């Protein structure tokens, strides 16, 4: 006698809600949710500046002239860097760099000002710390800009004295100008790069771990059979449904924090969103379900509860790297490029970056929708394996 799938679903749902309310299962849900909220608060406040500002740099002033002092002032007027020290020798600046007191320094050799006046091309030297990619690159850029501007200023002075008019001078100093458009992130804010993928990634990771853990617990407690009964799929769906709902809601709330804009509410970040918010929310829901399915798959094929958690942990953390938001996937070795496809976060990133940055609609990211739906199939495999192990339980 097989029951209606609908009633099995309802039973499993009721059972899970009971477990959540009366048997202390809610504490795992609560802790995970707190973890996710912590991540949102942590990352959004950690990088509140958007782009690191006033990075400490130094000047090695061996000239001690009007020019070197002026350069120092000009550098301090830039937003990206601030001069925290002026040294007399290269060695002391380098040591300060190793002590992490500065990220870059500009060396002004002896006699620079004299050389400028007499037109004998003094050489400035610019040292930047490349061991720290972000801060090294940013402080380098600020110092390079200053050095170029200094050259331009000298040129302009000389040409003015030669009697050229301003228009011609500009044509001589700068024959071509670069007009840079940073699509949907005009200030090169570091947050949208990282957070629009990483925070949903954290959500996905917790969903995965929780799913594996929940199923592992059923197995450990020996309640697998009681739960799955004769028709496993509706029972599984019934158990997972409250979590899907809960985490999808959390995810959409997270999206609101990331993309919402309001004058009054301080915690909304207002990152650029050119496409539709509904579509982003849809992908968040798809990510949650795909991670749940992957969790069922892992818990299904690895019967040892401890081992499946270990595997989920390893797989889950790799997703951040393999999604390609920090280091492009097309730059990885070929085999790893293929491997990247087995991470739902990869498809989420591919779709959501399109929607947010370029305003793509569903027509441009239906491939990702299909890919994420395919992950649901792995969940079916997992369910089948679960029932399989259930029969072994019966035999025992």
Partner 1 sequence: MNLLKDIWDIFVIEVRRVLHDKGVILIFFIATLIYPLIFGAIYKNELVRDLKVAVVDESRGEASRRFIHKLDATPEMRVDYHCCNMAEAKHLMQQRRIHGIVLFPRDYDSRLAQKETARVCLFCDMSSFLYYRSVLSATSAVLLDEMQEIQVERYGLAGITGESADELIQPIPFDDVKLYSPAGGFSSFLIPALLVLVVHQTLFLGIGILFGTTREDRRTLRVIPPHLRREGRTRVVAGRALAYLALYLPVVAVDLVLMPRLFGLPHIGRLGDLCLFLLPFMLATVFFCMTVCSFVRERDTGIVTCIFFSVVLLFLSGAIWPQCNMPAFWRLFSYLFPSTHGIQGFIRIGTMGATLDQVGFEYGMLWLQAVLYFVTCCLCLRAGKWFRIGAA
* Ranges within 293-312 binding partner 1 (CB under 8 A): 305-307, 309-310
- Nearer to partner 1 by C-beta: 1 or 266? 266
- Nearer to partner 1 by C-beta: 165 or 263? 165
- Nearer to partner 1 by C-beta: 194 or 376? 194
Rounded to a whole number of angstroms, the minimum distance from the CB of residue 6 to partner 1 is 33
Rounded to a whole number of angstroms, the minimum distance from the CB of residue 46 to partner 1 is 5
| Residue 68 lies near partner 1 (rule: CB under 8 A) | no
- The interface region with partner 1, picked from 6-14, 204-212, 248-256, 375-383 by CB under 8 A, is 204-212
| Residue 181 lies near partner 1 (rule: CB under 8 A) | yes
| Residue 223 lies near partner 1 (rule: CB under 8 A) | no
Give the C-alpha distances (Å, rounded to integers) separating 262 from 200, 253, 256, 279.
22, 15, 11, 20
Rounded to a whole number of angstroms, the minimum distance from the CB of residue 168 to partner 1 is 7
Q: What is the DSSP string of 360-388?
A: --GGGSHHHHHHHHHHHHHHHHHHHHHHH
Rounded to a whole number of angstroms, the minimum distance from the CB of residue 66 to partner 1 is 14
- The interface region with partner 1, picked from 1-9, 288-296, 314-322, 378-386 by CB under 8 A, is 314-322
Q: Which residues contact 153 (CB under 8 A, 6 or more apart)?
A: none
Q: How far apart are CA 198 and CA 349, in angstroms?
A: 9
Write 44-51 long-range contacts (CB < 8 A, 24+). 44/191, 44/195, 44/257, 44/267, 44/269, 47/190, 47/191, 47/194, 47/195, 50/187, 50/189, 50/190, 50/191, 51/80, 51/138, 51/187, 51/188, 51/189, 51/190
- Nearer to partner 1 by C-beta: 13 or 355? 355
**Binding to partner 1, residues 2-61 (CB under 8 A):** 32, 35, 39, 42-43, 45-49, 52-56
Give the C-alpha distances (Å, rounded to integers) separating 393 from 3, 231, 367, 388.
22, 16, 40, 9
Rounded to a whole number of angstroms, the minimum distance from the CB of residue 12 to partner 1 is 22
Considering only 176, 222, 392, 396, the residue that binds partner 1 (CB under 8 A) is: 176
Rounded to a whole number of angstroms, the minimum distance from the CB of residue 35 to partner 1 is 5
Q: How far apart are CA 92 and CA 89, in angstroms?
A: 6
Q: Take residue 310 and report the two structure tokens written for it.
A: 């270990």
**Binding to partner 1, residues 106-145 (CB under 8 A):** 112, 116, 119-137, 140, 144
Q: Which residues contact 340 (CB under 8 A, 6 or more apart)?
A: 322, 323, 324, 329, 332, 346
Rounded to a whole number of angstroms, the minimum distance from the CB of residue 122 to partner 1 is 6
- Phi first, then psi: what are they for 55, rounded to 5°? -65, 135
| Residue 161 lies near partner 1 (rule: CB under 8 A) | no
| Residue 338 lies near partner 1 (rule: CB under 8 A) | no
**Binding to partner 1, residues 255-274 (CB under 8 A):** none
């Amino acid at each position: 006698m097989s029951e209606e799938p609908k009633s099995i679903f309802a039973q499993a749902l009721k059972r899970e809600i009971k477990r959540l309310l009366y048997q202390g299962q809610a504490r795992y849900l609560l802790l995970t949710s707190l973890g996710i909220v912590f991540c949102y608060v942590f990352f959004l406040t950690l990088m509140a500046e958007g782009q690191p500002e006033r990075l400490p740099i130094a000047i090695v002033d061996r000239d001690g002239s009007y020019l070197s002092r002026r350069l120092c002032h000009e550098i301090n007027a830039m937003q990206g860097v601030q001069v925290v020290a002026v040294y007399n020798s290269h060695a002391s600046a380098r040591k300060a760099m190793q002590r992490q007191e500065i990220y870059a320094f500009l060396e002004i050799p002896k006699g620079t000002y004299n050389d400028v006046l007499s037109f004998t091309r003094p050489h400035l030297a610019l040292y930047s710390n490349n061991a720290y990619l972000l801060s090294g690159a940013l402080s380098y850029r600020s110092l390079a800009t200053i050095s170029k501007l200094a050259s331009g200023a000298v040129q302009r002075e000389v040409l003015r004295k030669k009697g050229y008019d301003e228009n011609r001078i500009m044509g001589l100093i700068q024959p071509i100008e670069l007009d840079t458009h940073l699509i949907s992130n005009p200030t090169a804010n570091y947050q949208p790069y990282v957070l629009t993928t990483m925070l949903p990634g954290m959500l996905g990771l917790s969903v995965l771990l929780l799913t594996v853990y929940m199923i592992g617990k059923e197995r450990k407690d020996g309640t697998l059979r009681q739960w799955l009964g004769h028709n496993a799929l509706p029972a599984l769906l019934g158990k997972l449904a409250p979590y899907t709902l809960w985490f999808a809601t959390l995810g959409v709330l997270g999206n609101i924090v990331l993309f919402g804009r309001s004058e009054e509410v301080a915690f909304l970040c207002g990152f650029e969103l050119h496409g539709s918010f509904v579509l982003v929310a849809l992908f968040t829901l798809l990510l949650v379900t795909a991670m749940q399915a992957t969790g069922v798959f892992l818990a299904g094929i690895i019967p040892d509860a401890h081992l499946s958690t270990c595997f989920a942990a390893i797989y889950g953390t790799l997703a951040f790297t393999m999604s390609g938001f920090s280091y492009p996937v097309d730059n990885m070795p070929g085999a790893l490029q293929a491997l990247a496809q087995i991470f739902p976060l990869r498809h989420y990133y591919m779709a959501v970056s399109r929607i947010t940055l370029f305003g793509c609609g569903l027509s441009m990211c239906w491939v990702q929708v299909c890919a994420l739906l395919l992950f649901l199939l792995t969940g079916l495999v997992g369910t089948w394996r679960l029932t399989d192990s259930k029969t072994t339980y019966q035999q025992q």
